[in-house]
Structure 1
């Protein structure tokens, strides 16, 4: 089972630590459907060299848009030697006609149902050319094959996914394309999720769910069950779920210490254009204050290049993040992924400028922009990252908190993430990432500021004041074309990548 490296892995902006965070959980999930007697090799090209000279009975590759070309090259290499290859994942589901010539079998959508069906057919020597997910359920799924994960190669080996999909339908998100034809959001049985958590060593967890708070009943029961486990965890949620009810307080009591929040844009027009209705008329500042009152650090996500964005958007966004004590910011250039509503709209308007999937990495402009030129958009994107993570802005953002402990946590987390690249590279190369986990757990230790902010706050997105100052101005292609995001030797439960059987790679 293989997860090919993303194209970004060979770019000038490659950060080894960013791609050494999480193991290929999807592939390890699908591997659980294989027989205990099968010999399985799970390889992640982000952290190790892929062995292409083996002769397995089956090769399973997970494909994302920016590792697609590399994934196809791997697949073609094995098929030329008579080895059976299956492809699955986001990109395969979005463009099955592109992927099919490179595989003996392709998987569309999540793999919990289709992969075991394929394995049965494969062993009976009558596999189909294509398997499409229809039934969506996480009931009675087998435990993830974590024994296949090389834990010492990852900073966060305890990653976990207890839901699939998201209840929202943003136009720029892959979710609707991947889950087309069935349920687009569903959860594990709470007891099964708790059992999986209980099997994980140490304290730290990272929930890779798109929206852990998406089903309030499930999340509430999960957090209640986690009380007393002495866990600290990180996850993702939406602004509206932070402001609604007391679920975020329950999460904090269970150990939530850091949250990825999709703010995306301050423009109501951009939100409407993107069908991100859940953020409309929501007060971002109140959401931030509520999280900070609970001692929860924030990783804010922002998208540049929506049609209402002008040249001031970069400075406004950075200033807002610093002034509101956002611990880390993740910036993206708007990217119209195939299969999304955004892609369909731009294709219809003749705005797509390239189908080189290597450039669909949220760093490059691949469409005709409106108020910004492509050059201004890419320059502003890079300026925003550089400016937000200056020592002066890290310090300013840290000092917005009410307690000295939260200030110190913010400073260490933000500075450590962006300012110590040589140290991270040394630790990664020496294969000692695991030694950094106690430090991460310490930084994520509990801290509360003044008091909880009232729920159901005033509904309003507050547009930051405009500032006049403008931002200043692979193995190279592996015997193949550019790559798509992540072909894996592992298959995420959501992805339709099968695991290698018998001798599976």
Structure 2
């Protein structure tokens, strides 16, 4: 059987609007995970349209397309093309789960929710020539998950080829989270067995890893055992956490001892009203400065995430947020315009209040305003978002944030990392387009690990005292 797995792109590789650094970060692990359930005798093609051209001249027996909101239009076009050729087309992913009836107009089969249990059921039905039109996730477990088909991934195309996921979902239910509908009707957060996660890590070459999990520290027992198993592996890694997981217990110290060097944190808003509006309970009443100081003491870089336009935000939110992030020495910041994704509580509320502007999925990219904000105009929100990025990554503020560190080496690596992430974006794009991504990536990896390689901060001295 010939199977083709496709991740469509809104901005395809090689087109005038393509931004390589934006689309060449991580490989399509979801599709590579599903490919692991196929028979060894099957012919399998995995195509990530973000980094490579998609050949539409073939006629596979089975076409699987992963759909998220901003690639939905392209995904449907590709699906319609292959269905017209007589191929059996399956659609799955976040957008399909949120709007299954819309997706079903372009597919022979749609998948709702995670596919670890539903995809094997479909394969058995398909081989019997009795495939159903719709499959929904009923069993939420990663036990027995086969090794990801990384042989199908062209590592040279990605800035972070050693991406890994060891859990699914998140223990929290923020009202704006795109994954709210995806995990509805079952467990919303679950992990692999620790031994299986460590085995997957061992299969990855090189030293640097990036955990794409929504909350790597979300299950304290799992995380504690994972970090204990990773000690001695000589790995450096990045991951995501919440503020409360960093300020409670000693889990973040264990992560640092295992090799954590950078953490993504969804601060989202500095205002309690905005946090309450978005049901960001894990941040309400939390001391952001306590978390930041703890991470600084461990030599862990911080990528802070912020959302603009929630009810409670006014036009001064942009300057306040940027000044706070710079004054706290955040290494990088990611800004977003609040976006009510279909299937979320945020979307339901905006629809009920008549505040949705349109359903042009191409623009649901957190860079455009798609609803009527309450505390400012749509034009003010888009302008403020653009200003925040420009201002935070100004040379002046990169320098100011670097001076937040008492350790000169930490300040130097902060400056290099922050500048490399945004100021050097044209060089990254050139490296990707000219095939020199591997060489330039190694430079950024050196910056990520430099402080620990050249100094011995408090956390390294304390590491022998940590026990699983």
For the 8 Å contact 2:67–2:91, the answer to whether it is kept is yes
Match of 2:150 in 1: 146
Match of 1:333 in 2: 337
Cα offset, 1:324, TM superposition: 0.6
Counterpart Cα distance in 2 of 1:124 and 1:29:
23
Match of 1:421 in 2: 425
Cα offset, 1:450, TM superposition: 6.5
Note the alpha carbon deviations across 1:435-464, whole angstroms, 9 max, x for none.
Answer: 223222211214378746xxxxxxxxxxxx
Q: Are 1:162 and 2:175 an aligned pair?
A: no
CA separation of 1:241 and 1:449: change in aligned 2, threshold 3 A: farther
Match of 1:226 in 2: 230
Match of 1:193 in 2: 197
SS in 1 for 2:294: helix
CA separation of 1:13 and 1:254: change in aligned 2, threshold 3 A: farther
For the 8 Å contact 1:403–1:449, the answer to whether it is kept is no
For the 8 Å contact 1:230–1:255, the answer to whether it is kept is yes
For the 8 Å contact 1:292–1:449, the answer to whether it is kept is no
Counterpart Cα distance in 2 of 1:274 and 1:156:
30
SS in 2 for 1:176: coil
For the 8 Å contact 2:13–2:49, the answer to whether it is kept is no
CA separation of 1:299 and 1:9: change in aligned 2, threshold 3 A: farther
Which of 406, 412, 419 aligns to 1:408? It is 412
Which of 302, 305, 315 aligns to 1:311? It is 315
Cα offset, 1:13, TM superposition: 8.0
* Mapping 1:118-129, distance limit 5 Å: 118-129=122-133
Which of 74, 81, 86 aligns to 2:85? It is 81
For the 8 Å contact 2:12–2:18, the answer to whether it is kept is yes
Counterpart Cα distance in 2 of 1:323 and 1:69:
41
For the 8 Å contact 1:135–1:182, the answer to whether it is kept is yes
Match of 1:254 in 2: 258
* Mapping 1:212-361, distance limit 5 Å: 212-361=216-365
CA separation of 1:112 and 1:67: change in aligned 2, threshold 3 A: same
Counterpart Cα distance in 1 of 2:345 and 2:456:
41
SS in 2 for 1:59: strand
CA separation of 1:204 and 1:34: change in aligned 2, threshold 3 A: same
Counterpart Cα distance in 1 of 2:102 and 2:195:
40
Which of 431, 439, 445 aligns to 1:441? It is 445
CA separation of 1:178 and 1:10: change in aligned 2, threshold 3 A: farther
For the 8 Å contact 1:293–1:449, the answer to whether it is kept is no
Cα offset, 1:422, TM superposition: 2.6
Counterpart Cα distance in 2 of 1:342 and 1:40:
39
Q: Are 1:21 and 2:25 an aligned pair?
A: yes
Q: What's the C-alpha RMSD, in Å, of the aligned pairs?
A: 1.5
CA separation of 1:306 and 1:13: change in aligned 2, threshold 3 A: farther
Match of 2:369 in 1: 365
Cα offset, 1:241, TM superposition: 0.5
CA separation of 1:342 and 1:238: change in aligned 2, threshold 3 A: same
Structure 1, 86-95 or 5-14: larger mean CA deviation: 5-14
SS in 2 for 1:42: strand
Greater helix share, structure number: 2
Match of 2:116 in 1: 112
CA separation of 1:8 and 1:152: change in aligned 2, threshold 3 A: closer
For the 8 Å contact 2:11–2:18, the answer to whether it is kept is no
TM-score normalised by length of structure 2: 0.94
For the 8 Å contact 2:13–2:52, the answer to whether it is kept is no
Counterpart Cα distance in 2 of 1:69 and 1:252:
42
Give the number of the structure with larger relative contact order, counting CA–CA contacts within 8 Å between residues 6 or more apart. 1
Counterpart Cα distance in 2 of 1:75 and 1:254:
43
Q: Are 1:174 and 2:178 an aligned pair?
A: yes
Counterpart Cα distance in 2 of 1:13 and 1:318:
28
CA separation of 1:428 and 1:16: change in aligned 2, threshold 3 A: same
For the 8 Å contact 2:90–2:107, the answer to whether it is kept is yes
Counterpart Cα distance in 2 of 1:318 and 1:449:
31
Unpaired stretches in structure 1, ≥5 consecutive residues? 453-505
Counterpart Cα distance in 2 of 1:143 and 1:229:
20
Off by >4 Å, runs of 4+ in structure 1? 7-14, 448-452
For the 8 Å contact 1:8–1:361, the answer to whether it is kept is no
Note the alpha carbon deviations across 1:90-141, whole angstroms, 9 max, x for none.
Answer: 0000000100010000000000001111111111100000000011000011
CA separation of 1:272 and 1:444: change in aligned 2, threshold 3 A: same
Match of 1:63 in 2: 67
For the 8 Å contact 2:304–2:332, the answer to whether it is kept is yes
Match of 1:483 in 2: none
